[in-house]
Amino acid sequence: MAYYPSGCDENITAHSCGTCGVELSRVRGTAFINKSYYPTLSTDFEDEALWNAGIASGAIIVYPETQGEFDGGTPNMGQGYGDTEESLNSYTFLLSFKDPNYVGNRNHYNSVKGSRNFHVAFRSETVLAISDEPCTIVPKNPIANDLKVERTWDVEVKWTSDNFPEESAIPANLFTCYVV
């Protein structure tokens, strides 16, 4: 990241306020977008045809119903200069989700684990968020000591970026079960 002296923030965008835009939480659906397809999709994240083409080609993997959370980012601070003690360099983001489709997905999760070839997309109630940097995918398959607890794939997704994830409306029919 380049040195960014204080007082150079001339491009501040307007803040949107009001009580009509309440968004409810939970990571309700997740997708991985191959980094080779990301430039195509980023031309219009709301274009259902682009999503469908990526899914059909195998460049997008959709997990239609998940349960999870997004930490919003942990700041990575750097050396300050002059009278400033430190400066914001970037954020490290953590997305955690549970995939309830446990049976039959061992080979899938073995194939994506540790990958740095995908961007992550995830939805809350009405907003789709997409990382602008590739992420690291870390799946786990724990078993609880409880006869009433479901087995799920527990997936952690990590990435570092200067920017918060891009946000858009959720394309129609994106978070449905696809078999390619």
Residues 6+ apart with CB under 8 A from 126: 23, 169, 170
60 inside domain = yes
pLDDT tops 90 at residue 142: yes
Domain count along the chain? 1
For the ranges 5-19, 35-49, 54-68, 82-96, the lowest mean pLDDT is seen at 5-19
Residues 6+ apart with CB under 8 A from 98: 66, 67, 68, 152, 153, 154, 155
Question: What pLDDT, on the 0 to 100 scale, is given for residue 1?
Answer: 47
Query: Whole domain around residue 146: which residue ranges?
Result: 29-74+89-169
83 inside domain = no
The reported pTM is: 0.86
| Cβ neighbours around 63 below 10 Å, total | 22
Using pLDDT thresholds of 50, 70 and 90, give the confidence band for residue 7: low
pLDDT tops 90 at residue 34: yes
Return the percentage of the chain with pLDDT > 70, whole number: 89
**Computed over its alpha carbons, how large is the radius of gyration of the chain?**
18
69 inside domain = yes
12 inside domain = no
179 inside domain = no
3 versus 72: the higher-pLDDT residue is 72
pLDDT tops 70 at residue 9: no
68 inside domain = yes
pLDDT tops 60 at residue 63: yes
18 inside domain = no
Question: What pLDDT, on the 0 to 100 scale, is given for residue 178?
Answer: 63
pLDDT tops 60 at residue 101: yes
For the ranges 1-5, 74-78, 91-95, 123-127, the lowest mean pLDDT is seen at 1-5
Return the percentage of the chain with pLDDT > 90, whole number: 79
9 inside domain = no
